[in-house]
Amino acid sequence: MINLDFKSKAFWSDGFGSLVLAGLVALFIRWAFMEAYVIPSRSMLPTLLVHDHIFVNKFTFGLRVPFSENFLYKTSGPKRGDVIVFKNPEDPSIYFIKRTVGLPGDKVYYESGNLYINDELVEKSIPDENKSDYRWLTPEDFVERSLEPYIHWEEKLGKYSYSVILPKDEFKEEEAGPYIVPEGHYFMMGDNRAYSKDSRRWSPDKRFVPYENLLGKAMFIWLSCDTVLPVIPICNPLSLRVRRLGHSIH
């Protein structure tokens, strides 16, 4: 029989009340501090793979009023290079994850794989394959099983160095911008530049992500797999990418 004596200490420590408290604590943590998300697309390859399960720090941008878009307080916002989960400006019911490229007031221009911030080319280099995120695109860890189709380099933006890829067979002269990021907004791009629908490709009146749409900063991968189970959409334990577990996102 369930103990419903709300005044009883045992109700809150050992009874049904302990389950209620545990549920409230979990909801509080999810609302204020941290939430889990699953990567559904290839737009952030090779930094994030499809079926990567990540934790996102929601407290990093402030604290919202429960069940509201309003903030109790705000922080200074994301830095250049931060990987951010946010509500799509064109459809806020859809959540996206991209890299913060432009801050308020920045001039952003992209041309054929070259990214310019305030008229300066973002630093590019040939990566050390043993240290780069590109190491995950290997026969053991990547479903397409090949490195050959990609042009690959490493960019340095803010305090982050990260891998960027473009498919060789779809590489073309692409130009976007220049754009001036308005106050209180951010310019977002995916690391898989050809397959990312981001600030370059959204409608002109929804091109930039407002602060109110920011949900949190990606922290680390807690689970990753190549495939999900056919009936229940959870990770297939036979296809776990064990080496990615605990991998920090940068």
Give me the active site residues, please.
43, 98
End-to-end CA distance of the chain, in Å? 50
Residue-wise DSSP of 199-218: TTTS-GGG-SEEGGGEEEEE
- The tokens for 218 are 């990606």
Residue carrying the six token digits 């934790």: 55
H and E: helices and strands count for the chain: 2, 16
**CA distances, 229 to each of 40, 54, 58, 213, 241 (Å):** 15, 19, 29, 32, 15
Residue carrying the six token digits 């943590």: 29
- Percent helix, percent strand, percent coil in the chain, to nearest 5: 20, 35, 45
